[in-house]
Amino acid sequence: MSAATRGAGAQPDERATRAASGGRDAPGAGGRACGDPAVGATRARLGPAPRVTVATDAALAARSLLVQRDLDDAAWDALLAASELLAGDRGRRPLLAGLRFAMLFLAPSLRTRTAFEVACHDLGAHAVPLQPGEGSWTLEHRDGVVMDGAAAEHLREAVGVLARMVDGIGLRAFAGLRDAADDLAEPVLAAAARASGVPLLNLESALDHPHQALADALTLRRQVGERCKVVVTWAPHVRPLPMAVPAAAVQAFAREGHDVVLAHPEGFELPDAVLDAARASAARRGGTFTVTHDREAAFEGARVVYAKAWGSARHYGEPAEVASAAVRRPGWMVRERDLQRGDRAFFMHCLPVRRNVVVEDALLDGPRSLVFEQAAARLDVQRATLCRAAGVDPASQEPS
């Protein structure tokens, strides 16, 4: 288990993107970085992500889930096995009775928040949901800033206080979509992990969504159960979105040993660090990973088509330009006829999804859609990661 985190990919969808500041348009929380010039958009290519140390305690790091790449293959497989052990009614037993878990949502949520709260309830723990700016103080995450803007509290104090009251913390903070280098460094996740003395669970960060990745892998194990061709395809959207979900998906499916094809128009590349990680996982686990701009060829023989919109790396920090580039490619919307090129192909999407923009109604509502199965798997995965955070092995606590 690594004690460091690196950027992976990001995604706010039908929701306003928020940094720890509580708003997309604020550079941090309205404060000024000491000694820094005014914050400006960074349009650099999304190259290798820097490593950011987020934990110095090995035991704490081993029970946290910060980014996918912190999990070795044994830990990955163990979490998926635990998710199956905790599926359905088998996950409704007081394995975590008396424990308390805080949820710090710096961005909106439906499936993630519900899965976390229900999983806590099912396992006998108490969930404490917090949404800064709406019932708790708006937060600043950057070090060395003059907090003369909207933020009333620093993430250091907020997380430090929570860590003295609860047994684990879940954090959601989307990419700011203003500065590529900043998002690659996972600044909010890293700051929270440095401040926390209890296990920290990433409920989606600037560049990764490990819980969604595990749920997607679990869904494919259940529905297909063997190595297959999985196409992760870009789709259009009415506004720019981060890269967490597609980045998480390609890494997860490569780690599962599938033949993964990433399809997108030119200019919509994922970060180099994500592509390198997917290639390494594919080589290690007996699969393949390729990238193509040829949409039609990508769908040939596919068993699974996973659609997701994300923004252009070429125009990072330029929302109007990114949205315009996406709107000009309506042919990338996924339709039933696209799946007919595949091998009895299933359709997957993390939700929420824009109907008839990302995917047509007939496919989303049809028998080949797995979106509800993916969402249901989120609960099983959340139970497993909560048990891991608490140091509880559900396999040793099987009911008689």
Give the pLDDT band (50/70/90) at residue 29. very low
For 30, 44, 105, 127, 139, the CA distances from 134, given in Å and listed in that order, are 17, 34, 10, 17, 11
Element (H, E) at 259: strand 259-263
Element (H, E) at 102: strand 100-105
Give the span between the Cα atoms of 228 and 286, in whole angstroms.
Answer: 11
Averaged pLDDT of the chain: 87
Q: Domains of the chain by range and CATH?
A: 4-208+378-390 (3.40.50.1370), 210-374 (3.40.50.1370)
* Identity at 61, one-letter amino acid code: A
| 266-316 pLDDT, tens digit each | 999 999 999 999 999 999 999 999 999 999 999 999 999 999 999 888 888
Mean pLDDT comparison of 142-146, 226-230, 314-318, highest-scoring range: 226-230
202 φ/ψ angles, rounded to the nearest 5 degrees: -80, 110
Give the span between the Cα atoms of 252 and 262, in whole angstroms.
Answer: 13
| 164-191 pLDDT, tens digit each | 999 999 999 999 999 989 999 999 999 9
For CA atoms 79, 80, 81, 87, the dihedral sign is: positive
| 30-84 pLDDT, tens digit each | 454 444 333 233 334 555 554 444 455 888 999 999 999 999 999 999 999 999 9
Residue 321 φ/ψ region, left for φ over 0, alpha for ψ in the -120 to 50 degree band, beta for the rest: alpha
Q: Which residues have CB under 8 Å from 105's CB, separation 6+?
A: 113, 129, 130, 131, 132, 172, 203
Residue in 127, 83, 304 with CA at minimum distance from that of residue 215: 83
Give the pLDDT band (50/70/90) at residue 19. very low
| 96-143 pLDDT, tens digit each | 999 999 999 999 999 999 999 999 999 999 999 999 878 788 899 998
